[in-house]
Structures are given as C-alpha cells and as structure tokens.
Structure 1
Amino acid sequence: MITDTRNSTALPTLMALCLGVGAMFSVTTQAAEASPTMTSTPASAASLSSQQQAIPLIAAFMATSDMPNLNTALNQGLDAGLTISETREVLVQLYAYVGFPRSLNALNELMTVVQARKQRGLDDAPGREPNRAIPVGDELLAAGMANQTKISGAPVKGPVFEFAPVINRFLQTHLFGDIFERDNLDWQSRELATVGALAATPGVESQLRSHMAASLRVGLSAAQLRQVTELLEKHGDTQTAKRASAALTLALAPAGK
C-alpha cells in the first residue's frame, strides 16, 4: 500500500511543468472538453489491456518513491508484456511531472528488476527506441504546438501564458515536442502514466482532472479510466484512488458521459 508522507511544498521544482500543463488544459473551451477522440491513437475499448493496467500502478509507486511496491509493479508489467523500452519510457517521461530524482531512482530500480529477472532466466523483450527522428529548432516548436493542440482540444492560451510565456514554449518544445514525438510509447500509455503519477500526488487535483480529459481525447474510454481508479483502489492507496475518481467525474461531466 502507498504511504504518502510528502508535503506539497516539497515537490520538485520541475513540477512547474506539470502546473503549466494543468493551466494549459484549464483554458480550453467546453467544445474541446467534449471532443475526446484522436485519429492518431488506437480506438478506445471497454477495458484496459494487461500491459495498460500495469502503467498507472508503476507511475503511482514511482511518484511516491515506494520502491518495494514499484519493484512489484515493474515485475508485473514486464510479466504482462510491457517491453523494457516501454517501461523505461514511462519512467523517463514522468520526470516532467514528479521530478528528476524520482525518475532516476525509478530507472535504477528498473535496472535492478531487469537484471534480477535475467538471473532467474526470464528474457524480457527489449522493445525499441524511437523510430521517428525528433525535429529541432522551429520544426520542433511546430510539432510540439501541434501535439499540444491535439491533446488539449484547442489552441492554448490564457493569462498564465501571458504572464510567463516561456513556460508554454518549454511545454511546446520539450514536453510536447521532445517527449511526445518519441514514438516508442503511444499517447494512451503516456496519459495513463501521467494520471497514475498525478493521482498519487496531493495538491495537483486540477492537473489530474486535465489529464483525465486528455486521456479521453487520446482515445481511452470512460470505462477504461474507471478501471484505472479501481486498480488504484485495489493495489494502491485509498486517497490516490479517491483523487483519481473525483477527477474522472469532473472530466466526464462536460461530455455527459
């Protein structure tokens, strides 16, 4: 079970990226909130695959630095068919939401898990590195802006970006550019990871709601997201599950789901 003893004031500086994402989604229109589909991702289904089920649990235990439970979740994810590359990518992406220290510690735990599994004769699929070349300069900014607009449901603007325009440029060029252009992990998996990590993090409820809405836009169904809350309740922490459930209820309200 997760035991979260952290104080929101102790969150890493890089949580600013997460806060920027939450502010980004908060300025989208109601029409965007009600348009949860995206042609670039797989069609939604009634339930999560076994690989998808592992991702929010890995993310939640990473976010709370619960290494024993993270070790178990990593093993379960690899047993379910996650490749080493996919699992590693989840932990890399989440540095933008829970900070470099937790990401580095989790990556070290993954290395330990993979080595131990090899010693037990388990041959996990390595997966692949990104196939698509990551653009640079103005092309990276353009790609990031396009990805940001797809995920948010509308072009992004708002007072926070007028007050600190550089944060949106960081979001566009790095989070939605450098990271989301990496095609070794699909967008549904990326959102499942983000939802799991934010649900385990007190004080970022508005960002969690935003990512629940984004999860719908990239093709996850309401039933699949309800399954996420059930998994967090069963295997994680009660408060984590409550935050996830409340955020999903709010995200579904504009769409009448």
Structure 2
Amino acid sequence: MTISNFAKKYNEKMFPNHESKLLKTDPEFVELFDNFTFDEVTNQNDLDGHTKFMAVLATLIGCQGIDEYKLMLEAAYNFEVTPIEMKEIVYQSVAYLGIGRVRPFLDATNYFLTQKGIKLPLEGQSTTNKDNRVEKGNEVQVKIFGEGMKGFQNSGDEDTRHINYWLAGNCFGDYYTRTGLNYKQREMITVCFLLAQGGCETQLKSHILGNFNVGNDKEFLIKVVSQCMPFIGYPRTLNAINCIKEVASKFKTV
C-alpha cells in the first residue's frame, strides 16, 4: 500500500494508535480514500482543523451518516472540538432535521463522551426563558439577517403565522441564543446541515446570506464545503457551491 506520509500522520492525529478494520478487508479503498481525503483535500486550503471537524460533524448529521459520525467524533475530539461544541452542534441540528433524524446522533455523542469519562449532563448553555425566548430570538434574527426581520414572529398569513413565531422562539430563541458557539459558528453549521440534506436550496441560500452578514465570506464557505466533500459526494457539493456563488454575486450589489 502507498498511503502518503501526510495521510498517515493525519490519521494518527485523528485516531491515535488505531488501525482501521478496512485495512484488512478493503486495502485498495483505504489507500484511495485516505490519500484523497486526508492529504489532497486537507491540503487544498488552509481551513483550521477545529473548524473543519465542526463542519464535518454537522455535515454528517445532515446526510444521516451515523456510522461515519461515530468515527469522526474521535477525530473532532483530537482536533479540540470540545464536548460543549459537540453537543451544541447536535442540539441545533434538531431545528433543521427534526428529532426523528437527530436522536441517533445525540445518543452516539452521549456514548462517546461517557466513554471519555466526561460527566453528563454538561454545563447548561441556555440564556433565555419561556418569557423572553421569542423576543430574544427575533433579536438574533435581526442581527443575522437585518432590520427587515424585526417583528418576524408576527408576520405571515394567519394560517401559517405560527411557524414564523416558532422560528423566532424555538429555532433562534431556544438554540441560537445559547452559549457554547458564536453566531459565525452557528451559521456555518446551519449551512452544513442544509447542504448535506439536499433539497433545501431555498433555506441554504438564506443561510449563506446569513453567513455573509456575520462575516463568513464566500472564500470561507467554499473552504468548508470543499473539506466536507468526501463525506457528502460531488452532487451536493456542487449544488452548495453554486448556491454560494449565486448569493455572493447578489450580495456584492446590495
């Protein structure tokens, strides 16, 4: 086998003293995948490992890659993604995928952290309560998407206005107001949830704009998508890049 020295060292950092079972059953595949993912792709840009593995975890939740997610928890941990950051990624994903798809990832994360000797529950990160969550959530919407979002919770047709109310109070008021991740990180992982699902291009474009508004520029998002490509494949990667470029071309004219 001719796995590159860089890929070997990167694997050792992700998984110290671990030997993949696939080395015995699928050595040719391991050579192809590791040389590409953990050498060529990794060296394509300068995205730091901590950010990369936060994005990878969010992407794997988005594409429902539970087995790979379990493996990448170890890699993320060794690239200093903290237990709180792991939990915040999973918690926020519920707003974009629903608990039906997220439960296995929450269970996997809890098991991983327990195996690491980390006591659960972790320190609480909530900053809102039932009385102010809608107001505080809308304030976050305005900070990320602009003054046009002011009062969003009361907008829309009467028969669907409750969804806008929930978006303000639940998606943003319950999750985005939490400590543990900042707005730039939260908008990045949201893009990862959406691009990995596919079929969410309308929402993806909205959150690409949100990323631009909080300081995650076009070049940064393309770096993120590029590092996640081996985990989601080319079609969804290319769709995401097209959305980034489309929003960027309009963003420059605003």
TM-score normalised to structure 2 length: 0.72
Aligned residues of 1:63 and 1:98 also touching (Cα < 8 A): yes
Q: Mind listing any 5+ residue stretches in structure 1 that lack a counterpart?
A: 1-45
Q: Pick the structure with greater CA Rg.
A: 2
4+ residue runs of structure 1 moved beyond 6 angstroms?
none
Query: Partner residue of 2:135?
Result: 142
Supply the RMSD in Å over aligned alpha carbons.
2.6
Q: Mind listing any 5+ residue stretches in structure 2 that lack a counterpart?
A: 1-44
Question: Could you tell me how far 1:175 is from its partner in structure 2?
Answer: 1.2
Is residue 191 of structure 1 aligned with residue 199 of structure 2? no
Name the aligned partner's letter for residue 130 of structure 2.
V
Task: Give runs of aligned pairs for residues 24-35 of structure 1, distance below 5 A.
Answer: none
Name the aligned partner's letter for residue 155 of structure 1.
G
Q: Deviations over 1:6-53 (max 9, x none)?
A: xxxxxxxxxxxxxxxxxxxxxxxxxxxxxxxxxxxxxxxx95432211
Query: Partner residue of 1:72?
Result: 71
- C-alpha distance in 1 between matches for 2:168 and 2:115: 38
1:201 pairs, out of 197, 205, 223, with 197
Identity %: 21
Query: Partner residue of 2:167?
Result: 171
Name the aligned partner's letter for residue 135 of structure 2.
A
Distance verdict in 2 for CA 1:230–1:194, change over 3 Å: same
Q: Would you tell me which structure has more helix in proportion to its own residues?
A: 2
Name the aligned partner's letter for residue 181 of structure 2.
L
Is residue 253 of structure 1 aligned with residue 222 of structure 2? no
Task: Give runs of aligned pairs for residues 33-182 of structure 1, distance below 5 A.
Answer: 48-118=47-117, 128-130=123-125, 133-137=127-131, 139-156=132-149, 161-163=156-158, 164-182=160-178
- C-alpha distance in 2 between matches for 1:133 and 1:203: 32
Count matched residues.
204
TM-score normalised to structure 1 length: 0.71
- C-alpha distance in 1 between matches for 2:75 and 2:213: 27
Question: Could you tell me how far 1:116 is from its partner in structure 2?
Answer: 4.2
* Structure with the larger RCO, 1 or 2 (CA within 8 Å, 6+ apart): 1
- Which shows bigger deviation, 51-60 or 82-91? 51-60
